[in-house]
Amino acid sequence: MGGQETAAPAPPLIACPDCDLLHRVREISSGHTAKCVRCGATLYKPKADSINRTFALVVAGLLLYWPANFLPLMSISSLGETRESTMFAGVRELYAGGAWWVGSLVLAASMLVPLVKLAGMCCVLLPLWLNRRPPAAGFSYRMLVALDSWGMLEVYMLGVLVSIVKISAMAKITAGAGLYAFVALMLITMLISTTLDRQAVCERLGEAR
Amino acid sequence: MSATRTTAAGASLVRCPSCDLLCGMKPLPPGSRARCPRCGAAIRPRKPDSLARTWALLIAAAIFYIPANVYPVMMIESFGTTSADTIMGGVKELVATGSWPIGLLLFFASFCVPMLKLFGLACLLMSVKRRSSWRPRQRTVWYRLIEVIGRWSMLDIFTLSIMVALLKMGALLTVVPGIGAGAFAAVVVLTMCAAISFDPRLIWDDAGETVR
């Protein structure tokens, strides 16, 4: 592209993300963490069999995503009347109540971002798993990094707990099929962050180029 | 780890913010951008206009913080009576009905976390502006804490979204979102953006500490 210039890669050094101190990259075994000697930030953390394990989890997550979002999370009964609710119904009711901005935020943080992250990870990991070069890998990877703090399934889980406590004072509340799928989906997204070895994925992206 | 005696900036290197690759910087013609050769992200030695952007987002968040606490987050209409809950009102109610562990959790997520972010980031910004050399490691740890816990203040918003959908029993029981919810959601998003736009490396640039 015109006016853009790429910089040249440097020798095997790594800079601390939080204080910029340069460290020499050393091989460490998986399960250990390389930390910055000056500020204590994590520099890298090799994980065993990262691409296989993470890819398996991503596939499981993509399957669980749909029941978690569209099957009823909970149902309440009060005075003989029963009502079920899904994650998506919460967004719809916020829109209906005039709080479109709050609804959009909930839609993004609890439904769209987790899906885009799973799909993006699939785009990066599937070709690596098949030993191919991912199409638009740089873009997908950059998007994953940018969305990192905006997927909030575990916060939503806590929201489910708080609303159970709040509602149980008013009506009888029972868990639905969606809730089990949702808990599984949340655990999978948390596991992905423990199995995903960012450095290994980036190196593979570099090699494949 | 084996550290060198210099920072990336000191060695005229830049770390790609996305894939961590170290890139050598050479002078670029004006108007052009350096891109990471591995992932294509725009690379800069430090986050652009970090202090000004973080201040702007933080001030905007502080402004929204007032309506977020004054106006009700949700209105519960049950059996003909309407009760409006502000953020602190909801916490008080939970404590009063005996669910104090959940009340405490909500107090922490909706009051302590936003406060910590507003004051914590303001202190960090001021310390960088003053080129303070006071405990840079401690300040970096504070920054990481602010960045990690920020998302948990969404708790109140998610609770609202669940209750709005579930408590909809005709005329008997209805929950309507209040103005406070929109303002509170803005506080959460703005403080998260502020934390992301702050560059912790600035703490070290002016700390005056010689690299060991």
Tens place of pLDDT per residue across chain B (212 aa): 577 888 888 888 999 999 889 888 777 777 778 888 888 898 888 999 999 999 999 999 999 999 999 999 998 887 778 888 899 998 998 899 888 899 999 999 999 999 999 999 999 999 999 988 888 999 999 999 999 999 999 999 999 999 998 888 666 678 889 999 999 999 999 999 999 999 999 999 876 555 54
Q: ∠ at Cα B3 (A209, B9), nearest 5°?
A: 65
CB-closest option in B24, B144, B170 to A7: B24
> CA-CA-CA-CA torsion for B53, B54, B56, B58, nearest 10 degrees?
160
Instruction: Say if strands B74-78 and B81-85 run parallel, antiparallel, or are unpaired.
Output: antiparallel
- Decide if A102 touches B, using CB distance below 8 A: yes
Q: Exposed, middle or buried by CB within 10 Å (0-12, 13-18, 19+), for B87?
A: buried
**For A149-185, how does the pLDDT look when each residue is reduced to its tens digit (9 = 90+)?**
899 999 999 999 999 988 888 788 999 999 999 999 9
The DSSP output letter for B97 is: T
Query: A60-95: per-residue pLDDT in tens?
Result: 999 999 999 999 999 988 777 788 889 999 999 999
Coil, strand or helix: which one is A4?
strand
- Please report residues of B whose CB lies closer than 8 A to that of A21: 3-4, 6-8, 204, 211
Distance from CA of A60 to the nearest CA of B (A): 24
Take residue A5 and report the two structure tokens written for it: 């210039």
Nearest residue of B to residue A36 by CA position? B1
- Beta-carbon separation of B166 and A85 below 8 A: yes
Cα-Cα-Cα-Cα dihedral sign, residues B118, B147, A113, A124: positive
**Torsion angle, CA of A94/A100/A101/A106, rounded to 10 degrees?**
40
* A182/B contact by beta carbon, under 8 A: no
Q: How far is A78 from chain B (nearest CA, A)?
A: 8
Query: Which residue is closest to B195 within chain A, CA to CA?
Result: A149
pLDDT in tens, A108-131: 999 999 999 999 999 999 998 888
d(CA B52, CA B59): 11
Q: Is B162 exposed, middle or buried (0-12, 13-18, 19+ CB in 10 A)?
A: buried
Mutation target vs A (from B135, B154, B158; most A CBs, 10 A cutoff): B158
Contact B38 A83 (CB under 8 A): no
CB contact under 8 A, B94 and A165: yes
* Structure-block tokens of residue B157: 């918003």
Helix (H) or strand (E) holding B175: strand B173-177
Question: What is the amino acid identity at position A201?
Answer: V
Question: Which residues of A are less than 8 Å from B4 in CB distance?
Answer: 13, 21-24
Q: Which residue has the tokens 């979002």?
A: A69
Asked if A35 and A12 count as a contact pair (C-beta separation under 8 A), the reply is no
Instruction: Please tell me the pTM assigned to this model.
Output: 0.91
d(CA B125, CA B86): 30
Q: Which of A40, A44, A20 is nearest to B135 (CA)?
A: A40
Looking at chain A, which residue has its C-alpha nearest residue B26? A7
Nearest to A36 among B1, B28, B151 (CB): B1
Whether residue B31 and residue A3 make contact (CB cut-off 8 A), yes or no, is yes
Instruction: Specify the pLDDT at position A34.
Output: 92
Distance set, CA A69 to CA A54, A144, B118, B155 (Å):
22, 21, 33, 18
Name the strand (E) or helix (H) holding A75.
strand A74-78
A145 touching B (Cβ < 8 Å): yes
- Most confident range (mean pLDDT) of A11-15, A55-59, B46-50, B130-134 is A55-59
Q: What is the pLDDT of residue B24?
A: 86
Taking the Cβ of residue A32 and every Cβ of chain B, the question of whether any pair is shorter than 8 Å is answered with no
The label of the residue with tokens 């909930």 reads A106
Determine the pLDDT at residue B208.
Answer: 56
∠ at Cα B75 (B71, B79), nearest 5°? 150
User: Do residues A176 and A71 make contact, with C-beta atoms less than 8 angstroms apart?
Assistant: yes
- C-beta of residue B177 within 8 angstroms of C-beta of residue A98: yes
- pLDDT score for B171: 62
CA angle, residues A203, A207, B1, in degrees to nearest 5: 30
Residue A11 or residue A89, greater confidence: A89
Task: Return the pLDDT at B98.
Answer: 84
Task: Determine the distance in angstroms separating the CA of B99 from the nearest CA of chain A, rounded to an integer.
Answer: 8
Higher pLDDT, A182 or A148: A182
Q: Do A81 and B169 make contact, defined as CB atoms within 8 angstroms? A: yes
